[in-house]
Structure 1
Amino acid sequence: MRKGATVAVIGATVLLAACQSGHTHTSSRSAVQLPRTAYSANQRDQSLAAARTRLIAFLQQQLVRPDGVYTNYLDTNRNAATASGHEYLSESAGLWLLHLAYTRQFDAFRRFYQQIKDTLWQGRQFAYRYNPANHQRFPVNATVDDLRILQAVGQAAIQTKSDQWHHEYQWIAKKVRDQSIAADRPVDFVDAKTGKRAKTITLCYLDLTTLRAIGGQALYRSQLDRIQSGQLQSRLPLFATRYDYSAKKYTGTSQINSVESLLTAVHLASVNKVPPKTVQWVKKQVAAGTLANRYDGTSGAPLTFDQSAGGYALAAQLGILIHDSDLAKQALHRALAFQIQKPDTPLNGALGDLASQQVYSFDNLETLVALDMYLGK
C-alpha cells in the first residue's frame, strides 16, 4: 500500500519458466474462481487520450523500470520508515500491471510480472517494499497490493484464455488466501520471517471482487458487512480507517484520509454496493474542486486544503463503475489539472509539482488506470 504519497485489470500466452519454478500447477479450472472481467467505459475523448499519451511517456521514461516502479521521481533517504524515492512498492507494481492489462499489452505484462515476482515474491506473499540499490526485500506484505496483483493475473487468464496464466492465478490465489486471509480473517500484513500477523484490517484493503473470487460467498459477505458497518455515522459519508480484531472495534474515525475512503468506495462500487450518500458527497466535492486529502470524521470539515491527483482519479474510477460518465470525466479533468506540460523538462506529462519535483507513482498510476478504464484500449 502507499507509503509517503498523498494517498483496485493481461499478459502473454506463455509464462517464462522463472514464473513457474518452485511449484506444480494444478490442472483443475474450478479450484478458485476467476475475478470478474474489468469494466471499461470505452469513451472517446481526444483531450484525455492525449493526456494519457503524455503520462505514459513520462512513466516509461522516468519511473517504470524493468523490475519495478520508482516510488518518487526524486531519490531520497532509503532508510526512512516509509518507502520513498527510488524504492519499489508492490502497490506501484500492481497498478502498472493493471495498466498493461487494460491496454492488452500481453508481452509487456509477462515480462514485467516475471521481474516483479523475482524482486518481490517471498514464497507466500509479495514484499510491500524493495530497495533495488542493495536488493533489500522488506519482510512484510500489504494484503491490498497482493490482491491487486492477483486481480491482474486473473485478468490475464480471462483475456488470453491461457492455461499457463490460469494455473499461475490458481497457485498465487491459494498462497495469498492461506497467508493473508487465514480462517477468513484478512489482515493488513504478515511478516514473512517471523510469521507475525497484524491484528487489524484497513477497510480499503478489502478488495471485495477479488476476495469473493478466491474465498467464496461467505468471505465476501463477511467483509462486505465489515465495510458497511464501518461507515461513519456522522456528517461525513465515508468510512472508518480500520478494524481492530483484538479490541473488536473500528479505529481511525476522528481524522479520515479521503483517498483511503475513496478506495473503499471503489471496492464497494465494484460489487454494486456503494452507498448513494457517499456517491453524492463525492460528486459534490468533484464538481466544486474541493476534494481535500483529510477530513474531520465527525463534523465532515476539511482538515487541509491539500488535494491529490490520486484522490480525483479514484473518484473517476467510482464514476466509471457506477456508470456515471459525467462524474468520471469531471474527476479525470480535476486529476489532470496536476499534469505538468513543459516539453523542455523530464517531468513533462507527470502529475506532480514542478517546483519541488515531487512526483509520486501512486498519483500517476491511479490516474493512468482511471484513464484506461474510461478510454479503453
Structure 2
Amino acid sequence: MKNARKIILGSCLLLLGGAVLHGCGTKKETVKLTQTKSGLVSELYQVKKNNAYHTQSEQLADFVSSKMLTKKGIYTRYSSKTKLTQQGKDHRSILSESAGLWLQYLLASNQKEQFAKFYRQTKNTLYQEVGQFSYRYDPQKKQLASVNASLDDLRIMRALSDYDVKYHSKKYQSELETLVQSFNKHLLKNSGELLSFYDAKSKKRSQDSPLAYYDFKTLRLFEDSSAQGKKLYHKQLKLVQGGYLGDAFPLYAAQFNGGQKAYSTKNLNTSEALEVLLHLAEVGQLKTPSLAWLKDQVDRQNLRNAYTVNGQMVDSANSAGNYALAALIFAVKGNNEYYNKAMKLVFAQQITEKRSTLFGALSQPPLEVSYSFNNLTSLLAAQAAEN
C-alpha cells in the first residue's frame, strides 16, 4: 500500500495548539491551519449529556483493565476458556487498533496520567523506527509485524493531537512531527489515495486503499491553507464518495485500487462500512439515505456483520461494535433517540452474571469470548453522552 509523495503540510510538522506548521527543510514556514482546533472527539458529539450508561460503561472498563490490558498492550480478544497464564493464540495478540481506541477512551474519560503511561507502553511495544506503529505484536513469539495499518496510526495521531488541545500542552508535538512526516511519505499519494500499509522491512507499500481508512477529521489536521493542501484533501473526499453503492443500498465499496482505477466488489465487513459513514458524518458529508438505512437497521435490530455490495446479508451474526459505531454516528448527528436505541443494543450484549469470568464484558453466549474492538468502540460510544 505505498509510494512516496510530498508531505501535505509542505513537508511539515503539525504544531497543534498554535496552529502553526514548520517546514522540514532549512526554511521555516508559518502556515495557518484550516482548523484552529483538532478533531477533539468530545466536540463532535451533539447528543444530550447523561449518565444513563455510566454503570455499564464502568463495568466494561473494569473488565478491559483487569482481563485484557497488559504492560504490552491490549489483547485482541479474551476467552473465558483460556487462562491468563497460558500462551493461547486466541487472546495473546496485541493490536495497534486497540491502542488507538484505548488512548481515545482514556482521553475522553479524563485519565490523563493513564493516557501518558499507556502511550509509552504502546510506543515500547509497537513503534517502528520508520515513524509508524506495527499493526500487531505476538507476545508468544516476541514478534512484531513489519507492516502498519494506516487507520490505526491515524487513531493514535488523533489521540495525541487531541491530548495537546485538551490540556493546552505541547507534550506530543515532537511525536506528531515524526508520525505525520512518515505517514505522508509512505501512505499518501498525490492522487489522494490513502494506502492501507507500509512494510518497514521490504520498503514496499500496498496498492489497495480501504475506504474505511479515510479518517477525514484527522486527515484535515494535515491540510494547510495552500491550494495544494486543500486540493489533496478534496481528492480524498471525492475518492471515497465515488465508492457510493447507490441509494438502494447506501453504503460504500470496501476499497479502491489505484492501479486498476476501480472500486472493489468484494463483500462488506459491516464495521468497516460503518467506519466510512462515521468519518463522513464527522465532516458533514453523510448522505441522507445512509442515515435512513442505519436507522432502519437499528429499528429492526438487524445490523448484520457482512453484506454483498448489492445489500444481501452474508453473515447473520451481529456485534456490539457495529451498534456502537451506529451510536457514534447518531451522536455526531445529534440524534438522541437513535443514539439511545443503539446503545441499548450495545449493552444488551453485556455479561451481567457476577460469577462469570466475563462479567462486564460484551459477549454473546455461548461463545464465551469477548473482543477488544467491540469493547473499546462501545466504551467510546458510551462516553459520547458523558462529555
- The reply to whether residue 260 of structure 1 matches residue 268 of structure 2 is no
One-letter amino acid matched to 1:67: K
TM-fit CA distance, 1:107: 0.7
Q: Distance in 2 between matches of 1:360 and 1:145?
A: 17
- The reply to whether residue 326 of structure 1 matches residue 316 of structure 2 is no
Question: 1:230 maps to which residue?
Answer: 243
The answer to whether the 8 Å contact 1:90/1:145 transfers is yes
TM-fit CA distance, 1:325: 1.3
> Unaligned regions of 5+ residues in structure 2, if any?
1-12, 23-32, 224-228
One-letter amino acid matched to 2:278: V
Question: 1:353 maps to which residue?
Answer: 364
> Which residue of the other structure, out of 91, 108, 126, is the alignment partner of 2:133?
126
TM-fit CA distance, 1:37: 2.3
Q: Distance in 1 between matches of 2:19 and 2:220?
A: 16
Question: Do the aligned partners of residues 356 and 25 (structure 1) sit closer, same or farther apart at CA in structure 2, a change above 3 Å counting?
Answer: closer
Higher strand share: 2
Question: Do the aligned partners of residues 217 and 25 (structure 1) sit closer, same or farther apart at CA in structure 2, a change above 3 Å counting?
Answer: closer
SS of structure 2 residue aligned to 1:231: coil
Question: 2:233 maps to which residue?
Answer: 220
- The reply to whether residue 65 of structure 1 matches residue 70 of structure 2 is yes
- The reply to whether residue 304 of structure 1 matches residue 315 of structure 2 is yes
Let me know the Cα RMSD of the aligned residues: 2.4
1:140-155 matches, within 5 Å, as: 140-155=147-162
Question: 1:114 maps to which residue?
Answer: 120
> Which residue of the other structure, out of 160, 164, 168, is the alignment partner of 2:175?
168
Question: 2:40 maps to which residue?
Answer: 37
TM-fit CA distance, 1:256: 2.1
SS of structure 2 residue aligned to 1:119: helix
> Unaligned regions of 5+ residues in structure 1, if any?
1-23
One-letter amino acid matched to 2:382: L
> Which residue of the other structure, out of 188, 192, 196, is the alignment partner of 2:200?
192
TM-fit CA distance, 1:168: 2.4
TM-fit CA distance, 1:234: 6.0
> Which residue of the other structure, out of 47, 53, 56, is the alignment partner of 2:58?
53
Over the matched positions of the two proteins, sequence identity in percent amounts to 30
Q: How many residues align?
A: 348
One-letter amino acid matched to 1:89: L
> Which residue of the other structure, out of 72, 79, 92, is the alignment partner of 1:86?
92
Q: Distance in 1 between matches of 2:383 and 2:160?
A: 17
- The reply to whether residue 97 of structure 1 matches residue 95 of structure 2 is no
Q: Distance in 2 between matches of 1:288 and 1:356?
A: 23
TM-score computed with the length of structure 2 as normaliser: 0.84
Q: Distance in 2 between matches of 1:148 and 1:96?
A: 10
- The reply to whether residue 157 of structure 1 matches residue 164 of structure 2 is yes
SS of structure 2 residue aligned to 1:247: coil
- The reply to whether residue 370 of structure 1 matches residue 376 of structure 2 is no
Q: Distance in 2 between matches of 1:231 and 1:185?
A: 16
Q: Distance in 2 between matches of 1:181 and 1:160?
A: 30
Question: 2:9 maps to which residue?
Answer: none
TM-fit CA distance, 1:42: 6.6
Higher helix share: 1
Deviant stretches of 4+, over 6 Å? 24-28, 76-80
Question: 1:292 maps to which residue?
Answer: 304
Instruction: Identify which range, 172-181 or 114-123, moves more after superposition.
Output: 172-181
